[in-house]
Chains A and B, each alone.
Chain A
Amino acid sequence: MTVAIERTLPVRRFAFDWSKPVFISLVLVLGGLVLLPLFWLAYYSVLAKDGSLSLENFRALVTDPTLRKPYAIAMGMALATGALSCLIATPLAWLTARTDLPGRGVVRAFVTASFVTPPFLGAIAWEILAAPNSGILNEIYRWAFGLEQYEYLFDIYTFEGLVFALSCYTFPYVFTLVANALDRVPTDLEEASAMLGGGVWTTLRKVTLPLVLPAMLAGGLVAILQALTMFGTPAILALPAGFHVITTKIWSLFQYPPKPGLAAASALPLLLITVFLIWAQAKIIGRRGYTTVGGKSGAARITPLGRYRWAAVAFVTVVLSITVIMPYLALLKTAVTRTVSEPLTWSSFTLHHVNFVLFEFSATRLALQNTLVLGVMTATAGTAIALLVSYLVARRSVAGASLLGYLATAPVAIPGIVLGVGLFLSYSSPPFMLYGTIWILFIAFLTIEMPAGYQQLSSAFKSIHPELEEASRILGATRMMALRQITAPLLRTSVVATWCFVFIGTIRELSATILLTTAETKLVSVIIYDLNESGDLGAISVLGLLLLGVSFAIVLLANRLPVLGGRRITALR
């Protein structure tokens, strides 16, 4: 009906419609952001040392075992991380979304905390906890059983340790998708199962789980993607163990004498793998109809846990202690003790590290300032662009608007380190000399965060029916006026949430950053990494806690993150 009214209206010529110019400039900006680094990456990968074009670098990639092996290890690591994340997150999500587990809100808050924690910081915390000889947990183990030195329970510097530390910070992706899917699983199907005599567990196994399986697989793929493209955690845990994964290998190719061509060539297969994973994920998510059949039916069915209640509480407590509570306590303890292995007592208590970081270490202030300025800039610009893009795509107001959607999603397929290489090649020589300024980091962060921002806002737009805007336009408003007066106020919560999301994303970033910072453009994440290479764990803990404090303050300010299952706008669906 609304469509018919719009058609009969005369087009208003006197008010300039900005859609077209905005569309064209967005295509140019996003296209530039994504395509320029990819172009240089491809160009350098086929550039021989003497400046001619050749496939020399790709030949090295296939024949050199020191390049092939990191790929194999990285694939194994990523798959294992995906599996482990699903194993942890699925029961946790079910317990949180669909049972009478006490403290469900607390669980969600802790999962959010795990999401906000930069993975490299978590990896360092796990070094403190589970290094074979000095790790706190191993100290306790030896003390409790009266064992000799060198006996240990955990060794974080192993392939298994690496997978574990990665999973601690990738499981929230699975949790989110599964919890959201569980919120939408139609209760009538479950009730039908119950009426036909299926017990709680039969219903769970035969109805609920199959319905959320796609969400779990999709979450698992995100976890695999994250693990595969991460730099910090493997650099901290795999290098001491004496093996490379692909991201650390690419990074090492920039050491003296640098081999940017080989680095570019090694980055391209990683790009192909991520494109494949994204495609697979889209295929699975595309079957969403499957999970939302009859989605209109009432509130989610809550399963009483009965006598399993305490077992469930124990499971949740263990998971949250491992992923959040223990690492935070370890950082806190390390921040105020002289050396890592000492127990915290009155005599070993010291403010030396706090003092060093805040007053002696000259990089702290600049890095904190850069991190915050860049975080705010990226979050603001990123949200604004994502808002415009998702509006144009959702309302299809310009022909070819969906192209914008693809451009905004494309960076998700570019691993951070690959983007870092591409951006360094693009912006370290004329005509674009941005290396050494914060603008190259700004571009990197904007590109990296664009897909997440766009996804958030486009789903928010989908939840607001166009008829409200149409009503406004019938009453004489231009497209921009309608956007400002009607849509913007309705979207405020989502916009704030997106802003926070992007802000946290920039603070966590290390994979691209590590290749792009200089002395003047240091970020907290990079100085934490530098300090780790010289073994200053106390200083790292202080800086890490400082960074976490700021991140949490920002999250609290915006007070909820819809992606992580906080309350979402339910009105206007």
Chain B
Amino acid sequence: MKHFVLAAAAAVMWLAPHAVQAAPPAPYEPDQALVEAAKKEAKVVWYTSTDVQVSEKMAKAFEAKYPGIDVQVERSGAERVYQRINQEYGSKIYNADVIETSDAVHFLVFKREGILAQALPSDVAKSWPAEAKDPDGFYAAYRAHLSVIGYNTKQVKAEDAPKSHADLLLPKWKNRMVKAHPGYSGTVLTGTAALSKLLGWEYFEKLGQQKVMQVQSSTEPPKKLAQGERSIMADGNEYNLFLLRETGVPIEVVYAQEGSPIAIGHAGLLKNAAHPNAGKLFYAFMYTQEAQQLASDVGGLRSFHPGVKEKEGRVPLSKIKVLFTDPAEVEKQIETIKKKYEEYFGT
């Protein structure tokens, strides 16, 4: 009889999240029990599309705070992370514990497919604005960053630098630009959706005639600028520009007059995580003030945590014209974006 009661209770608990899906779960703060359980699992696997050096630092900070739990960082472009989790889940392989990509569309799909667990770290419950988290507590914004224009200050004088997306179409920038690919980078997919809506596809058609160097990840254009391989980046991550500039690399950010697309990078805890407790612990850690401050300091990422102080010299988000996109709308356009893009840029 006792067993039956336990089983029934278990069944009810298992059913509970499904029954009350509309309501977010109770916020949680890691307690001793969770830490102990996580230490038994000894490992957490994090699929991420944040720059690899930044992610590894986040992992090291977690390992320092909770010794005995290793973080395995699996970094790839947002679309590759998405492709991989789909291939793996299609084959019933549950490697990942926490997943994070820069393409907000993915989290609509993940939630719909039911592969995420509900989890609401107390920091998210307390301080995140409603637009930066899922109302049902399945995911929340770990980071945000802009896709911006940039230039190499050794090769281009500040007064000559482009001020807007329209400026990129000037003949003098032919052969001088680099950009990332929407088929690989979630940031650029979001940015392409935003800009094609604002400026029309003619903008990309003309940009395609500028002999732009095509790289894959949005972390790469800043590095090509730093190398001096190209002088202007047509799109790419703001945070990589920050990081490189702060180590003395001669590059500068341009916030285009038309606006800069923002990519919101959500993270979520997976329902079938191999290390559920370590995953939950890491998931909570990602949103703490210390982690968010670290992401801002070493990662140049924008945070929704009100306690995070931005470094000197970085323009605060409130002073920038930001272009938001509706992920549900982007999802419908993916095929069109990829098709048009290949037509104008060749790949």
Contact = CB atoms under 8 A, between A and B. Distances in A.
Interface in B58-102: 59-60, 70-77, 79-80, 82-84, 86-88, 90-93, 95-96
Contacts of A366: 72
A429 B223 contact: no
B214 A435 contact: no
A299 B228 CA distance: 55
Contacts of B93: 435-436, 518
Q: Which of A133, A257, A258, A519 has the most CB of B within 10 A?
A: A519
A157 interface: yes
Contacts of A241: 213-214
Nearest to B230: A133
A257 B52 contact: no
A256 B88 CA distance: 14
Interface stretch (B28-36, B192-200, B261-269, B339-347): B339-347
Contacts of B214: 239-242
A518 B84 contact: yes
Contacts of A340: 227
B83 A254 contact: yes
Contacts of A134: 224, 227-229
A361 B56 contact: yes
A361 B60 CA distance: 10
A534 B219 contact: yes
A545 interface: no
A160 interface: no
Contacts of B56: 356, 360-362
A243 B347 contact: yes
A433 interface: yes
Given A240-B214, A535-B220, A429 B79 contact: no
Contacts of A66: 342-343
Contacts, number: 137
B217 interface: yes
Contacts of A530: 75-76
Contact of A519 (B71, B74, B338): B74
A534 B230 contact: no
B79 A256 contact: yes
B215 A240 contact: yes
A244 B346 contact: yes
A519 B90 CA distance: 15
Interface string B209-237: 00111111101100110111111000000
A243 B79 CA distance: 20
A147 interface: no
A533 B88 contact: no
B87 A435 contact: yes
B290 interface: no
Given A436-B88, A520-B95, A239 B223 contact: no
Contact of A255 (B79, B215, B228): B79
B91 A436 contact: yes
B77 A533 contact: yes
A66 B338 CA distance: 12
27 contacts: A66-B342, A133-B228, A134-B228, A149-B155, A240-B214, A240-B215, A255-B80, A258-B86, A339-B226, A340-B227, A356-B56, A361-B52, A363-B73, A428-B91, A433-B91, A436-B93, A518-B88, A519-B47, A519-B72, A519-B84, A519-B96, A530-B75, A533-B77, A533-B184, A535-B215, A535-B217, A537-B223
